[in-house]
């Protein structure tokens, strides 16, 4: 029934109610937030994390009510079920909004890599997975540079492609109440540049209406930075403190850097939620729950 899932994505793209340009950087805090880290092409891990959060039932339907879920990026690469994951998250975004809740799906470095046609982490199944997503033209100079089995995925994710437009309907950085969510990390230079500008420029590039943002290529970009997640030292924590103060926030929640368990650094000012839950890494399914001032991890174990 893949054609049904693709129809859901197409209808979502045509719907004016959830246009990417309508996504604010800041929203008020709900009673309960749950954050989910990297899932890397593992549909089972994605479903299990959403169920652990109390977001979906056994039929993958939203039951979270006013729950707000944030997935901090890296749905793509290393696994074979990426299209199903993207389609599921697209549908749940609509269902959550209709129920008074929200699902905020962010872009990570692997989403940007695919849009840049950096395919080094794509599995053979990941190429095959998108063969039914697009019609590959026989006359296309860009696609001609790729092996035939790669062309459908390239067509789907290149800027302006059907799944690049799905990625475009997201923020890269999301602030909910006093919580900052981002895949890698927000640094002072990102604030100077403009967080709204970062979100807007990425959307424009992915839709094919703007150039590749210069910051997207940098190792210290919001989707690549590891200063707060890879054993941060005192200087890193001091930088984080300055960033949070400037943003009027209490904590930052990031993925990108794997840990055995959800881990906090800098006196609880950063929470690292990538537990390698996908099959490629074999880690545990854990999510981060935020209820008011209370922050703790939920685990299947």
Q: Which residue segment(s) compose the domain that 250 sits in?
A: 2-112+159-299
User: Residue 2: which pLDDT band, with cuts at 50, 70 and 90?
Assistant: low
What is 170-226 written as a DSSP string? S-SEEEETTEEEESS---HHHHHH-HHHHHHHHHHHHTTSSPPPGGGGSTTSTTT--
- Asked whether residue 146 is domain-assigned, the answer is no
What pLDDT, on a 0 to 100 scale, did the predictor assign at position 6? 55
219-264, pLDDT tens digit by residue?
999 999 999 999 999 999 999 999 999 999 999 999 999 999 999 9
Bridge partners, residue 176, by sequence: 27, 179
Convert the pLDDT of each residue in 107-122 to its tens digit. 999 999 999 999 999 9
Name, in order, each residue with C-beta under 8 angstroms of 70's C-beta and a sequence gap of 6 or more. 33, 34, 35, 36, 103, 104, 105, 106, 174, 176, 181, 253
**Contact call for residues 198 and 213 (beta carbons, < 8 A):** yes
Give domain status of residue 168, yes or no: yes
Taking residue 116's Cβ as centre, other Cβ atoms within 10 Å add up to 15
d(CA 96, CA 81): 22
Q: Is 110 a catalytic residue?
A: yes
Give domain status of residue 237, yes or no. yes
* 198 located within any domain: yes
Q: Exactly one of 40, 104, 110, 190 is catalytic; which is it?
A: 110
pLDDT digits 0-9 by tens, 280-301: 999 999 999 999 999 999 999 7
d(CA 301, CA 54): 16
The per-residue pLDDT for range 5-38, each reduced to its tens digit, is: 555 555 555 444 444 556 899 999 999 999 999 9
- The predicted-structure confidence for 257-267, as pLDDT tens digits, reads as follows 999 999 999 99
Establish if 143 belongs to a structural domain: no
Higher pLDDT, 97 or 16: 97
Query: pLDDT value at position 62?
Result: 98
Average pLDDT over residues 59-81: 98
271 in a domain, yes or no?
yes
Q: Domain tally for the chain?
A: 1
Task: List strand residue ranges (DSSP E) for 62-109, in order.
Answer: 68-71, 102-105
The pLDDT of residue 18: 43
Helix (H) or strand (E) holding 5: helix 2-14
**Mean pLDDT value across residues 59-71:** 98
What percent of the chain shows pLDDT beyond 70?
A: 92
Mean pLDDT rounded to a whole number for the chain: 94
Confidence band (pLDDT; 50, 70, 90) for 128? very high
d(CA 91, CA 95): 6
CATH number at residue 106: 3.60.21.10
Residue indicated by tokens 């793209």: 13
Segment 155-206, tens digit of pLDDT: 999 999 999 999 999 999 999 999 999 999 999 999 999 999 999 999 999 9
Please report whether residue 172 resides in a domain: yes
Residue 124 lies in a domain: no
Supply the pTM of this predicted model: 0.94
């Amino acid at each position: 029934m893949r054609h049904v899932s693709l129809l859901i994505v197409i209808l979502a793209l045509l719907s004016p109610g959830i246009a990417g340009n309508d996504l604010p950087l800041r929203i008020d805090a709900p009673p309960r937030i749950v954050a989910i880290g990297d899932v890397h092409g593992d549909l089972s891990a994605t479903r299990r994390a959403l169920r652990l959060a109390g977001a979906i039932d056994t039929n993958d339907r939203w039951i979270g009510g006013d729950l707000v879920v944030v997935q901090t990026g890296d749905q793509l690469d290393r696994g074979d079920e990426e299209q199903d994951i993207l389609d599921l998250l697209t549908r749940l975004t609509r269902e959550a909004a209709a129920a008074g809740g929200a699902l905020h799906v962010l872009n990570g470095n692997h989403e940007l890599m695919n849009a840049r046609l950096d395919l080094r982490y794509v599995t053979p199944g990941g190429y095959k997975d998108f063969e039914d997503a697009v019609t590959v033209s026989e006359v296309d100079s860009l696609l001609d540079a790729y092996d035939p089995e790669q062309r459908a995925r390239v067509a789907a994710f290149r800027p302006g492609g059907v799944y690049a437009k799905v990625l475009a309907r997201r923020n890269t950085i999301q602030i909910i109440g006093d919580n900052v969510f981002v895949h890698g990390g927000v640094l002072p230079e990102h604030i100077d540049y403009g967080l709204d500008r970062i979100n807007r420029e990425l959307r424009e590039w992915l839709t094919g209406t703007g150039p590749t943002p210069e910051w997207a290529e940098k190792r210290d970009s919001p989707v690549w930075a590891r200063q707060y997640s890879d054993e941060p030292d005192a200087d890193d924590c001091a930088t984080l403190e300055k960033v949070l103060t400037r943003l009027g926030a209490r904590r930052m929640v990031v993925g990108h850097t794997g840990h055995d368990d959800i881990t906090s650094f800098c006196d609880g000012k950063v929470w690292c939620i990538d537990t390698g839950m996908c099959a490629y890494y074999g880690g545990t399914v854990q999510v981060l729950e935020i209820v008011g001032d209370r922050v703790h991890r939920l685990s299947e174990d």
